[in-house]
Amino acid sequence: MRPVIGVSCYGERAAWGAWDVDAVVLHRAYVEALEASGAAVVIVPPVSDEATIDAIVSRLDGLVLAGGADINPADYGADAHETTDRPRLDRDRTERHLYRAARDEGLSVLGICRGMQVMAVESGGSLIQDLPDAGYGTIHREKPGTFTEHGATFTTGSLIARVLETIETTVNSSHHQAVAEAGRLTVTGHAADGTVEVLEDPDAAFVLGVQWHPEMSEDRRLFQALVHAAHRRTAAASHTLA
């Protein structure tokens, strides 16, 4: 059976057909990457009730925290930089609780771009609000809606190095913020300029955050690894019940 993987999404104004309304939306690339990797995909919208989030997580085998707008700086005790996006408070609240509940359930987790930053903030970390202003230049994004390629190196023996079978590769980025402090997570990847590219929890079977966008690549190994880890956990749970 296909593991059920939940993917967080946007709550944004959107237009299609005759409609121009508040909507929940997600780039289709996430769904396609997960389905191609063997997952049954469920899109998880921003919600206001934590009990609803807990009910959703209890039915999942794994979780992807998707990319998107900047996290509210108040969540890590900072004032907003002039370049920081308008807060999406419902999404921040939902994704932080999703991550917390997924960890409590022992689910496999993959955080992508903003998703990795959510993991860091929920783990007690903090963010750099604007990389160019902090002296990092535009290596990670020249302008919104575009991707840039740059190198990344990984810690030998880390989960990311095992999944990608290398300690050095090229990644595709589109972000102006980055992790400053990882909190309870472990940094296992950096860009050449020192920007954090990967976070992991070495005590978990599969808890991984990447700063780049694997859904926009033909390389499905990160999604395949997530699905495999979710399947392995589900199979072990079924064996225990039997």
Q: Quickly list H helices, the chain.
A: 28-36, 50-57, 89-105, 114-122, 159-164, 221-241
pLDDT in the model for residue 235 = 78
Instruction: Examine the residue annotation and report whether 213 is marked as an active-site residue of this protein.
Output: yes
pTM: 0.96
Give the per-residue pLDDT at 237.
67
Average pLDDT over residues 142-168: 95
Q: Catalytic annotation on 9? A: no
Catalytic residue among 97, 113, 197, 200: 113
Give the pLDDT confidence of 156-182 residue by residue, as tens digits.
999 999 999 999 999 999 999 999 999
Candidate from 25-34, 71-80, 136-145 with smallest mean pLDDT: 136-145
Q: Would you state the structure tokens that stand for residue 175, as one six-digit string?
A: 């972000």
Mean pLDDT, all residues of the chain: 95
C-alpha to C-alpha distance for 9 and 22, rounded to whole angstroms: 13
Q: Where are the domains of the chain?
A: 4-241
User: In sequence order, which residues have a C-beta less than 8 Å from that of residue 34 and are 6 or more positions away?
Assistant: 5, 7, 41, 64, 223, 227
Q: Which of 94, 38, 35, 32 is nearest to 65 (CA)?
A: 94
> Which of the residues 122, 176, 215, 231 is marked catalytic?
215
What integer pLDDT is reported at residue 144 of this predicted model? 87
Catalytic residue among 140, 175, 213, 231: 213
Looking at CATH, the fold of the domain delimited by 4-241 is given as Rossmann fold (3.40.50)
The whole-number pLDDT of residue 28 equals 97
122-136 confidence digits (pLDDT tens)? 999 999 999 999 998
Q: Is 181 helix (H, G, I), strand (E, B) or coil?
A: strand
Residue with tokens 């090229």: 170
Q: Which residue has the tokens 């309304």?
A: 21
In the chain, the percentage of residues whose pLDDT exceeds 70 is 98
| Mean local confidence (pLDDT), 28-41 | 98
Q: Read off the pLDDT band of 138 (50, 70, 90).
A: confident
Residues 6+ positions from 18 with CB-CB distance below 8 Å? none
- Whose CA is closest to 117, among 63, 197, 192, 193? 197
Active site residue 215: yes
SS (H, E, C) 24-69: EECCHHHHHHHHHCCCEEEEECCCCCHHHHHHHHCCCCEEEECCCC
pLDDT of residue 34: 98
